Structure 1
Amino acid sequence: MRTTSTLSALGVITIIVAFCTSRHFRNPMHRLIFINAFFNAFDVICTMISVNGPLAGNRSALCQFQGFLNQMFPVADVLWTLAMAINVYLIVFRRYDGQALKRLERKYIAVITTFTFIPALVFLFIDTDDKGPMYGSVTLWCAIAPKWVLIRIVCYYVTIWTAIIVTIVLYILVGIEIAKRRRDLKATSSQDIPLDNTVMLADDTASHDKGNPDAIGVAVTTEVGVRVHHSRAGSTSHSLTNSTSSLQPTSVCSVTTARHLAPSHQPAALSFRQYILMPLFFFLALLSVWVAPSTNRLATFVDPTFSSFPLLLTVGTTGCLRGFWNGLVFITMGMKSWKRQKDLKKGKRREREAQS
């Protein structure tokens, strides 16, 4: 357990260092993972304590502290994943831009912290003569004790799986919408998801070059015979037509211009890798973590005598890897995005050199 907890600690440190030192890891999804890394740090402390909590005794300060951490921070990790799914939904369906998403972060912090902290704190003070303290040994660590198993299922697993199910529903809705838009606009690149029929968001390359992670780089793609209006600072607009505006679209021109919009403007499309694929992989990693412990808890609830060493070993291993998986997704997807931005810059430089 401490070995896998060490991997999670490295994942947490990697997220924090990468976010603080590189502007390529600062889009709205990266920021949510960065914030969650501090919650993951307390989760790592919990798993590092390991069996020392139960060995110290159910009423010991160490066991109670570990139980508190175990109740609060794994649930928070799931809720942060739900927050990422909400962001994806808001981008696709509500046209939220980087600044609008950033304003939600304080609300996410307040809601998630309050929702997880209050029950975790209250459970510290529950101790009855017949059942003992709420927090006690569950073999691998201290959490809600077996005698309080119904409370653990309702306040822990039901909460977690409700958030997971809501997350799945949101991604299904987003997937259906993206499929519709890709079918309606065949000329879209594989890396960008159109939010309307004419304008496409660049992969944050230009905005990062300007040092502003919340600015939005927009590449305007025009269709022959389609009138395109695009305002800058709420005042300027232009129109492109091929004779009359009544003509049907017959072809799509190449990207004609690139613009930097203020954060208050709505984005017209989103980077598939940064805004869809990364949070989706983040969610899949989390899902793999919760299958084994949920199966074990349900089995012991149905049959209190149930015991499976391989399942228990899987619970201990996967339960200590939350920070590791988060760090792996953060770095892997972030590096791919950074490489793509680098390749785009090289391509533009070669074009300029060829023209000169």
Structure 2
Amino acid sequence: MDAILEPRGAAVLTEKQLRDLTIVMRVASTLSGLGVIAIITVFCLSRHFRNPMHRLIFINAFFNAFDVTCTMIATSGPKGGNPSALCQFQGFLNQMFPVADVLWTLVMAINVYLIVFRRYDAESLRKLEWKYFAGIVVFTFIPALVFLFINTEEKGPMYGSVTLWCAIAPKWVLFRIVVYYGTIWSSILVIITLYALVGIEIARRRLALRSVSSDTVALDDTVSPKQDPTWEDSSVGVAVTVDVDVDYQHQSTYRPYTGQSSFDGSLQPTSVCSITTSRHAITPTSKPPRPALSFRQYVLMPLFFFLALLSVWVAPSTNRVASFIDPTFFSYPLMVAVGISGSLRGFWNGLVFITIGMKSWKRRKEADECELRKR
């Protein structure tokens, strides 16, 4: 989240432009606040929204709440003056929480990588959460706090007005580029790399297994569906793929990487039925199911979070590059784009959380109905 620097040339914002920007930012911040409330409420009330990805989004929602506080202050921070407590508080929030949001998106990508390549289960991922939390808090809080105490006669306080809000002041722009944008874009590049690796691996497994379900991706491709008599009755064309949310059966034979028995701690196993001709019962054998992951919940959801994040940083980064190349650069439309995109982060997170989660919930409901019909 960034704002255009105070122009170093003659260009200035009128009172009307500042007022309009403040209104736009606060409306967008209100939408983000509703997104944050939706995430927290749905997570607490619905047992379906409890898998490892949902938990990371839930934790990040509290970071987004502080981010909403920052953008809701809007131009009131700069109006109070650089040394004011409000401007310094806003600068602290602006330095810590947008970076934290990017890092939470990064750990979601790391979790996807661990699931696909290392067979991590829910318990294993849950044990990593406190490490993620501690690492992100320390990494973002320490510099944000230290910058509060930096103030020189030549450059003034490190946090100051950047027109839309208070952040690292223009005279400290090198710190803004290295500590702020350097962290953000390094994280984005790592996320892109991880998703590229995951995408290649998923495509390879789907091709190898000729997956019969559009929402499941097998984590073990040693046996293809056509060769697995336990889970397909070739005479009637009945196939069953196991969603990542199910409990692993016959744990002594098939275990995730850390040896836990359930991926997301769900109480009952669920599966997705694909029936191409008639509905015949499948006689289970001692052979365990292949573990598989839900494509929507464990790939699409974090991927859409990343795409929303990427869209948020296009305008600020464009502005930063343009301002760095030409210190006199000023664009009011770009400033509006920066204010809107920076204030909508919580809204996009809530939208992705609800929409993708609901689609996955509907699919699980269909799977439960399928199980009842088979019985």
Q: Smaller-chain TM-score range? A: 0.7 to 0.9
Query: Does the 8 Å CA contact 1:96/1:267 hold for their aligned counterparts?
Result: no
| Letter of the 1:125 counterpart | F
After TM superposition, the runs of 4+ consecutive aligned structure 1 residues lying more than 6 A away are 218-221
Matched, 1:214 2:255: no
Query: Does the 8 Å CA contact 2:270/2:367 hold for their aligned counterparts?
Result: no
User: TM-score scaled to structure 2, two decimals?
Assistant: 0.79
Cα gap change, 1:258 to 1:96, in 2 (>3 Å)? farther
- C-alpha deviations, 1:86-112, integer Å up to 9, x for none? 000000000001110111100000000
Out of 266, 276, 299, the residue aligned to residue 299 of structure 2 is 276
| Letter of the 2:295 counterpart | F
- C-alpha deviations, 1:189-225, integer Å up to 9, x for none? 2211111134954252679xxx99424848699xxxx
Q: What residue in structure 1 maps to residue 139 of structure 2? A: 115
Give distance in 1, aligned partners of 2:281 and 2:211: 10
| Letter of the 1:39 counterpart | F
Give distance in 1, aligned partners of 2:271 and 2:366: 17
Give distance in 2, aligned partners of 1:346 and 1:296: 52
Cα gap change, 1:255 to 1:75, in 2 (>3 Å)? farther
Identical columns (%): 68
Q: What residue in structure 2 maps to residue 24 of structure 1? A: 48
Cα gap change, 1:218 to 1:184, in 2 (>3 Å)? farther
Query: Does the 8 Å CA contact 2:247/2:263 hold for their aligned counterparts?
Result: no
Query: Does the 8 Å CA contact 1:97/1:267 hold for their aligned counterparts?
Result: no
Q: What residue in structure 1 maps to residue 245 of structure 2? A: 204
Out of 348, 351, 354, the residue aligned to residue 371 of structure 2 is 348
Give distance in 2, aligned partners of 1:191 and 1:7: 30
Cα gap change, 1:267 to 1:35, in 2 (>3 Å)? farther
Q: What residue in structure 1 maps to residue 344 of structure 2? A: 321
Give the 3-state SS of the residue equivalent to 2:330 in structure 1: coil
Give distance in 1, aligned partners of 2:263 and 2:303: 25
Question: What is the CA distance between 1:349 and its match in structure 2?
Answer: 2.8
Out of 328, 331, 341, the residue aligned to residue 308 of structure 1 is 331
Give distance in 1, aligned partners of 2:354 and 2:283: 33
Question: What is the CA distance between 1:347 and its match in structure 2?
Answer: 2.8
Give distance in 2, aligned partners of 1:127 and 1:257: 71
Give distance in 2, aligned partners of 1:292 and 1:76: 19
| Letter of the 1:3 counterpart | V
Give the superposed CA RMSD. Answer: 2.6
Cα gap change, 1:95 to 1:159, in 2 (>3 Å)? same
Give the 3-state SS of the residue equivalent to 1:136 in structure 2: strand
- C-alpha deviations, 1:137-177, integer Å up to 9, x for none? 00000000011111101000110000000000000000111
Query: Does the 8 Å CA contact 1:219/1:258 hold for their aligned counterparts?
Result: no
Query: Does the 8 Å CA contact 1:203/1:341 hold for their aligned counterparts?
Result: no
Out of 119, 141, 146, the residue aligned to residue 95 of structure 1 is 119
What is the number of equivalent residue pairs in this alignment? 313
Cα gap change, 1:274 to 1:212, in 2 (>3 Å)? closer
Question: What is the CA distance between 1:255 and its match in structure 2?
Answer: 6.6
Give distance in 1, aligned partners of 2:307 and 2:42: 22
Out of 160, 169, 174, the residue aligned to residue 198 of structure 2 is 174
Question: What is the CA distance between 1:257 and its match in structure 2?
Answer: 4.7
Give distance in 2, aligned partners of 1:258 and 1:204: 21
Cα gap change, 1:34 to 1:100, in 2 (>3 Å)? same
Query: Does the 8 Å CA contact 1:218/1:258 hold for their aligned counterparts?
Result: no
* More RCO (CA 8 Å, sep 6+): 2
Give the 3-state SS of the residue equivalent to 2:210 in structure 1: coil
User: TM-score scaled to structure 1, two decimals?
Assistant: 0.83
Give distance in 2, aligned partners of 1:256 and 1:26: 32
| Letter of the 2:28 counterpart | T
Matched, 1:336 2:362: no
Give distance in 2, aligned partners of 1:325 and 1:305: 32
Give distance in 2, aligned partners of 1:54 and 1:279: 35
Question: What is the CA distance between 1:132 and its match in structure 2?
Answer: 0.6
Give distance in 2, aligned partners of 1:162 and 1:172: 15
Q: What residue in structure 2 maps to residue 55 of structure 1? A: 79
Cα gap change, 1:205 to 1:96, in 2 (>3 Å)? closer
Give distance in 1, aligned partners of 2:168 and 2:345: 20
Give distance in 2, aligned partners of 1:258 and 1:82: 41
Question: What is the CA distance between 1:179 and its match in structure 2?
Answer: 1.1
For structure 2, list consecutive stretches of 5 or more residues without a partner in the other structure: 1-24, 224-230, 232-240, 249-261, 274-279
- Within 5 Å, which residues of 2 pair with 1:250-269? 257=284, 268-269=291-292
Matched, 1:185 2:209: yes
Question: What is the CA distance between 1:268 and its match in structure 2?
Answer: 2.1
- Within 5 Å, which residues of 2 pair with 1:71-150? 71-150=95-174
Matched, 1:9 2:33: yes
For structure 1, list consecutive stretches of 5 or more residues without a partner in the other structure: 222-252
Give the 3-state SS of the residue equivalent to 1:23 in structure 2: coil
Cα gap change, 1:161 to 1:212, in 2 (>3 Å)? closer
- C-alpha deviations, 1:249-278, integer Å up to 9, x for none? xxxx9975599x9xxxx9822111110010
Q: What residue in structure 2 maps to residue 295 of structure 1? A: 318
